[in-house]
Amino acid sequence: MSERHEFKTEARQLLDLMIHSVYSNRDIFLRELVSNSSDAIDKRRFESVKQPDLLPAGLEPAIRIDVDSAARTLSVSDDGIGMSREEVGDLIGTIAKSGTQEFLKKVRESKDAAAPGELIGQFGVGFYSSFMVADSVTLLTRRAGETAATRWESAGDGYYTLDEAERDTPGTTVTLHLKPADQEDGMKDYADDSVVRHIVRQYSDFVAYPIQMEIEETEEVEGKETKVRRTETLNSMKAIWLREKSEVTEEEYNEFYRHVSHDWTEPMLRVQARIEGTLEYRLLLYVPAKAPWDLFMRHPETHRGVRLYVKRIFIMDDCDELLPEYLRFIRGVVDSEDLPLNISREILQQNRQVQRMSRGIVGKVLAGFKDLAAKDADKYKTFWAEFGRVLKEGLFQDTDNREDLLSLLRVVTTASAGESVSLSDYIGRMKPGQDQIYFLCGESRARLERSPHLEAFRGKGYEVLLLDDPVDEVWTSAVFECQGHKLQSAARGLVDLPDDEEHKEAETERKEQEKAHASLLGKLGEHLSGAVKEVRFSSRLTESPACLVTDANDVSPQLEKMLRAMGQEMPESKRILELNPAHPLLDALQRVYDADPEASALGDYAKLLHGQALLAEGGQLPDPAEFARLVADLMVKAAG
């Protein structure tokens, strides 16, 4: 039964973009179709491990390209897993449904004419690239294990049709009804055998399955020239990770990356190794030039991680068991000589060899990062800007590699003028007698730089790490030291700067003042009993009247907020209000208290101090309306 459907809004916009925009490289459409066919064959082979009847004995899967110059059609066929009618409607009618909107946004923001073509692979919308060169597209598919086939057709006008069809064998055929060649517009003749042959060899030479095409040639038979057609395999099918590095060019490495990642840009870093011994495996891994769009919300249909092969036979795509979550941006291939061919995800999770492989792979990857940092500081700075936020997750997830990850960490400090520096750089600049690494977490660097918590540190010339990523709150609560130096929050507990005569005198004076004003501090604490744990004098304030600090063993408000957002129930912890004993406001408060210890104004002043301290650190007032009223009343009194 024929059904006519309308593309969803995002898909219609994307079709329009493909049809009416001009890209610097339209050849990408064939690369994407071939890659989709390769993935489909991989999936059929993988599913056949548990269901052998899905892949009949003797069948050698292949990808076939058929070109009809007279009819101006180009078809790409495969022996892959195929799709059911429901899958066609879901995957083709709304392909990349989670990424399409972001893709369109990136295209609109980009000023680079080549950028849309580069983004095609990144967002998994390769099928739509067919409309760059075709007036209409027909897809015929039959899922392995089923007898019914489905035909999908669209002219790129915002609609598509679904029909029942017949196909002798499982797999998929995509037929493009090509637009006319136009040299002035840069449109090649994709109905020309030689053009197709060149594109396949340039972009898909490393596909693991034969890409076959019938080639028409002229031969002399009995003295007469006769046109004959023969099947030619266009790609080498060489597993690039098995070849010696000296035999592979940089362009071949980059093209293989494009194949496994579907990312059109060149990778930032390549990590290649051959591990021999009791456990033998090879790895060829890449770091993308840009963080993938789904770095923090992985989408199963478009995410491409590390592929696992066993003895050159594909086992699975996106093998999470080989790399920890904080390295989820890595792309590439791992090929083992020792794992069983029928391995499943359940076995992977329990297999000791996989765990040993994972440790070795992580070690090689981190060594690659350290080598990049040592040899090319500017490139590493770019790497950290793209992936540092994710890499920090390893500081609390991977205790075995924590020291290596700490050496890779880059942070902005109060003395780095906005540049990211390593912890080794920070430690090398520590003042004599300093044995702690001071840090401050917050929601933005601008707020951190203005934080009252830093006043004493600045005054005495102590450098402080400024950590403004949400993940910083988590890893600093799990990492307690680096290179023998303890990490200390500038907003937690009492400030204990290295002893000197000036510090000792200041601390003695603070304690004396705290005794002298103990009654006032106690009364302010009573008025704020529902909001703070204690009111005390501060050794960290030199200019501001007040600030809020977290007790040494309590959870910070930022971490508390994150945990609640993740669905964890957290008891609300109270913080400590610290007052500046040298601020003129203290004497004014003391005079009010001395005149009448029960004066209602003391309660108002206490709430104003608490609200001011919250605002100074970028926090939210518990009752903004009351705070505004108190400020207005204070202004009226001050105005006489």
> What is the per-residue pLDDT for 300?
55
User: Is 54 within the bounds of a domain?
Assistant: yes
Specify the CATH number for the domain of residue 184.
3.30.565.10
Contact 382, 347 (CB under 8 A): no
In angstroms, the CA 193 to CA 213 distance is 9
> What is the per-residue pLDDT for 117?
41
- Collapsing DSSP to helix, strand or coil, 305 comes out as coil
Nearest to 81 by CA among 145, 159, 7: 145
Q: Residues 316, 196: one domain?
A: no
> What is the per-residue pLDDT for 92?
72
Tell me which DSSP letter residue 208 carries.
S
> What is the per-residue pLDDT for 626?
92
> Residue 97 to residues 11, 123, 568: CA-CA distances in angstroms?
8, 10, 30
Residue-level length of the chain: 640
> Residue 160 to residues 2, 84, 92, 441, 522: CA-CA distances in angstroms?
10, 16, 10, 52, 75
Q: Residues 245, 212: one domain?
A: no
Specify the CATH number for the domain of residue 282.
3.30.230.80
> What is the per-residue pLDDT for 98?
38
Q: Residues 246, 172: one domain?
A: no
Take residue 251 and report the two structure tokens written for it.
Answer: 């362009």
Specify burial of residue 434 (Cβ count, 10 A radius: 0-12, 13-18, 19+): middle
> What is the per-residue pLDDT for 8?
65
Q: Residues 219, 262: one domain?
A: no
> What is the per-residue pLDDT for 484?
93
> What is the per-residue pLDDT for 303?
62
Q: Residues 36, 158: one domain?
A: yes
DSSP E strand stretches across 386-521: 411-413, 420-421, 436-441, 464-467, 481-482, 485-489
Which regions of the chain are under pLDDT 50?
22, 95-100, 103-104, 111-124
> What is the per-residue pLDDT for 269?
96
Nearest to 75 by CA among 200, 174, 212, 149: 174
Q: Residues 88, 57: one domain?
A: yes
User: Is 500 within the bounds of a domain?
Assistant: no
User: Is 470 within the bounds of a domain?
Assistant: no
In angstroms, the CA 248 to CA 261 distance is 19
> What is the per-residue pLDDT for 109?
60
User: Is 397 within the bounds of a domain?
Assistant: no
> What is the per-residue pLDDT for 124?
46
- Residue range 135-192, pLDDT digits in tens: 999 999 999 999 999 999 998 887 889 999 999 999 999 999 999 887 666 678 999 9
Nearest to 524 by CA among 588, 436, 615: 588
Take residue 42 and report the two structure tokens written for it.
Answer: 């991989």
> Residue 403 to residues 385, 390, 398: CA-CA distances in angstroms?
20, 16, 10
In the chain, the number of structural domains is 3
**Residue 614, domain extent:** 517-638
Specify the CATH number for the domain of residue 548.
1.20.120.790
In angstroms, the CA 268 to CA 365 distance is 13
Neighbours of 390 (CB within 10 A): 17
End of a domain among 233, 248, 273?
A: 233
Q: Residues 132, 13: one domain?
A: yes
> What is the per-residue pLDDT for 462?
93
Contact 192, 149 (CB under 8 A): no
Give me the residues paired with residue 421 across strands. Answer: 411
> What is the per-residue pLDDT for 112?
46
End of a domain among 377, 406, 428?
A: 377
Specify burial of residue 27 (Cβ count, 10 A radius: 0-12, 13-18, 19+): buried
> What is the per-residue pLDDT for 111?
45
User: Is 427 within the bounds of a domain?
Assistant: no
> What is the per-residue pLDDT for 110?
53
Torsion of CA 105, 107, 108, 110, to 10 degrees: 120
Q: Residues 229, 244: one domain?
A: no
User: Is 455 within the bounds of a domain?
Assistant: no
User: Is 106 within the bounds of a domain?
Assistant: yes
> What is the per-residue pLDDT for 17?
64
> What is the per-residue pLDDT for 350?
67
Strands in 420-421's sheet, in edge-to-edge order, are 420-421, 411-413, 464-467, 436-441, 485-489, 481-482
User: Is 471 within the bounds of a domain?
Assistant: no
Q: Residues 21, 88: one domain?
A: yes
- Residue range 553-571, pLDDT digits in tens: 887 777 777 777 777 777 7
> What is the per-residue pLDDT for 99?
44
Contacts of 149 (CB under 8 A, 6+ apart): 140, 141, 142, 164, 165, 166, 167
Q: What is the DSSP string of 36-47?
A: HHHHHHHHHHHH
In angstroms, the CA 180 to CA 133 distance is 9
Q: Residues 221, 246: one domain?
A: no
Q: Residues 222, 340: one domain?
A: no
Q: Residues 244, 227: one domain?
A: no
Take residue 240 and report the two structure tokens written for it.
Answer: 């690039």
> What is the per-residue pLDDT for 35?
82
The pTM of the full predicted model, rounded to 2 decimals, is 0.69
End of a domain among 202, 233, 264?
A: 233
> What is the per-residue pLDDT for 144?
95
